[in-house]
Amino acid sequence: MIPRYARPEMTALWEAESRFSIWLEIETHAMDAMVDLGIVPADAAKAVHERGGFDVDRIDEIEREVKHDVIAFLTSLSEHVGPEARFVHQGMTSSDVLDTCFNVQLVRAADILLADMDALLAAIKKRAFEHKMTPTIGRSHGIHAEPTTFGLKLAQAYAEFDRNRARLVAAREEIATCAISGAVGTFANIDPSVELHVADKMGLVAEPVSTQVIPRDRHAMFFATLGVIASSIERLATEVRHLQRTEVLEAEEYFSEGQKGSSAMPHKRNPVLTENLTGLARLVRGMALPAMENVALWHERDISHSSVERMIGPDATITLDFALMRLTNVIDNLLIYPERMQANLDKLGGLVHSQRVLLALTQAGVSREDAYRLVQRNAMPVWRGEGQFLELLKADEDVVLSDTDLEALFDLSYHFKHVDTIFDRVFNR
């Protein structure tokens, strides 16, 4: 985690204090269940409730000696509780605590990310309706294609992030499992009802079969989902970056008073936020592969996944949280230039209407091959800056359309007749 790209709420979730607090919560709930089973004295559970605590520095000190974080925690806990602490962790293994805690953290991280996505969706929706009918050029291969609207560009982004939100909801559900099953997951030394009790108290469900660890295919899917969301962030960021290029300049990031764009060139207004988002997206996406590699653990347990998760758990969620917030601010404050969009639309002398001419010719009885040849023959001079498309078509004796018919084909509004239909599909589902 780098403070530059971190927000307090998500960062706090991964701090040692938070992690050990969740551990204590798990152990306490387990003891409560074991009291009901007659395994643990009620006084012992009461003592943990009243005096249960830990000291982070002390845990670190103990761990340096014992080389085991859960044992270090339990030792620190016993120093606060007293002799009753001997009943803590009855029949449990460290993975019960570690894995359940990790899933709790991922679930809580998912809740923060879902709130982030709601804010982003709201920002995109607002700007999409604002520019619902703002004409702009659609591009394929980076080249002018046919007219679209800026609102449709944003509607596409909204639909994509709406899908991503649904994916994250599913990933949250998949990761929301609890394992309190003991060594190798057989429940030999702990009753399954303890697991059910802890799961209920922690807002989780019991893992159907956990070996000694919760299966890592769940985590692989969670981090893969974060990677897909990051890819969508990069896609929208890349769109903004392209639109901000000097030769295009149809939209640009907000440039605040006193902001500097270059240490050498005072005139510069660079798309630094969306470039930053592109880089952050690459990082989050890069953490999906190690999560997938964690699936193949040895037999009932090994810890090859542990070091990976200690990094990617906080780093992926903290980074994505920051990126979603940054993208929301970019969209909220995006400077949009309809006049420049119109100017770019007009730049190719009407060539954006070539398909309408092609189709009209075929409707008039011309073969598709001949129609394509006629349209292209008149389009290429315009491409070279040698005239206007409409005038060249009118002057071509082989183009069997009247001047009035040709002029009607150059109506920009024709392309926007189904914008409402698309908006209804995206926003009114």
Residues in a beta bridge with 136: 148
First to last CA, the chain: 38
Half-sphere exposure for 140 (CA within 13 Å, toward CB) = 5
Q: How many CB atoms lie within 10 A of CB 368?
A: 11
* Cβ pair 26, 73 in contact under 8 A: no
**Count of residues making up the chain:** 429
Q: How many CB atoms lie within 10 A of CB 2?
A: 9
Nearest to 225 by CA among 168, 283, 169, 176: 168
Query: What angle, 0 to 180 degrees and rounded to 10, lies between the N-to-C axes of helices 272-286 and 304-332?
Result: 160
Residue 345, judged by CB atoms within 10 A of its CB (0-12, 13-18, 19+), counts as buried
Strands 251-252 and 335-336: antiparallel
H helices of 176-271, where? 192-202, 217-244
- Measure the CA–CA gap between 185 and 34, rounded to whole angstroms: 18
* Cβ pair 265, 248 in contact under 8 A: no
Active site residues per annotation: 141, 262
Q: How many CB atoms lie within 10 A of CB 273?
A: 18
| Token pair in block for residue 82 | 């007293």
Torsions phi, psi of 135, nearest 5? -65, 140
Three-class SS of residue 146? strand
- Measure the CA–CA gap between 83 and 51, rounded to whole angstroms: 12
